[in-house]
Amino acid sequence: MARSREITHLVACIVTVSAIGVAVSTAQEAQSPQALAYFNRGVVFMNKGDAVSAIADLDQAIQLDPKYVNAYINRGLVFLNKGDNDRAIADFNRAIQLDPNNALAYNNRGTAYYRQGASDRAISDYNKALQLDPKYGQVYNNRGLVYYENGDNKRAIADYDNGAKFAGAHSSTTDTAYAITPWDSVVSDYHLKGFTESTFNNRHGNVWSVWTSGTSGNTLIWSKTASGGRGQGFNCFADARPNFWGTCTRYDLRSGQAERKVSVQIDNGTVIDRPL
């Protein structure tokens, strides 16, 4: 009698990013703002199921930053979902070459090997992922299925027990899809349109970035360290007055959500915003 496939299913996971471009996985982050922007948009296309557009954006991210580990992992996952296991494994291999301690890359490559029918290689990669991240619950579930299909019920049960114990608890990666926020949309748009960036430290020691478009004159002003680490961002329309913007949208960088309309002035290194 054939074993049921309803017990569980193998899961390969995408890499997600936060609203200010810090990757949630422990893999190396993008060294190029443009690469990060293409990466973010590629994740959105992945979540929409648009493989062609996702691959195109991830190709661009890798071209801009050939050592962008997360881009290789996500492009490999797109290939995996398309059934192109060879290309998926090639991308996961490159990610592991660049970051040998990346549990997510080993998990995903193990899933690709499983789909090729190479269960021994799959188990080896799952073992390595768990060595790197012993609380990675989904890997226990994946390895448990391979054990089950190989007839090793004792090991399968043990892995499923650990999968339940550590569900959602592993430390280095996340399995949840990336939900783009209003602030993400603003930042990605500015990166892709080639805004120039400058930075300054205010009198409190907070680092502020100012991005300006030579074409539209729009300015993006933000600081991760403002307000005790909460972070503020302002998307401002062009204004003729120096260091003053009469119409801006203020964002909370912790949530990525827009808060209110304000005016912004930079006076002696201090960013002052006033409600409109």
Has residue 20 been placed in a domain? no
Helices marked H in 29-178: 33-48, 51-64, 69-81, 85-98, 103-115, 119-132, 137-149, 153-165
Domain CATH code at residue 121: 1.25.40.10
The answer on 145 and 55 residing in a single domain is yes
The answer on 55 and 145 residing in a single domain is yes
Q: What are phi and psi of 207, to 5 degrees?
A: -95, 125
Q: How many domains does the chain have?
A: 2
Query: 78, 33 in Cβ contact below 8 A?
Result: no
Contacts of 50 (CB under 8 A, 6+ apart): none
Model confidence pLDDT, tens digit, residues 155-189: 989 998 998 888 765 544 443 333 446 676 666 66
Has residue 13 been placed in a domain? no
What range defines the domain where residue 47 resides? 33-165
The answer on 200 and 88 residing in a single domain is no
pLDDT in tens, the chain (276 residues): 333 333 333 444 544 332 212 222 323 455 677 888 888 888 888 877 788 998 999 999 999 999 999 899 999 988 988 889 999 999 999 999 999 999 889 999 998 898 888 999 999 999 999 999 998 888 888 898 888 888 899 998 999 899 888 876 554 444 333 344 667 666 666 665 667 777 877 777 778 888 887 666 678 888 866 544 457 888 888 777 888 989 998 888 777 778 889 999 988 778 888 988
Has residue 216 been placed in a domain? yes
pTM across the whole model = 0.61
The answer on 141 and 49 residing in a single domain is yes
Q: How far is CA 244 from CA 31, 218, 261, 272, 274, in A?
A: 31, 12, 14, 9, 11
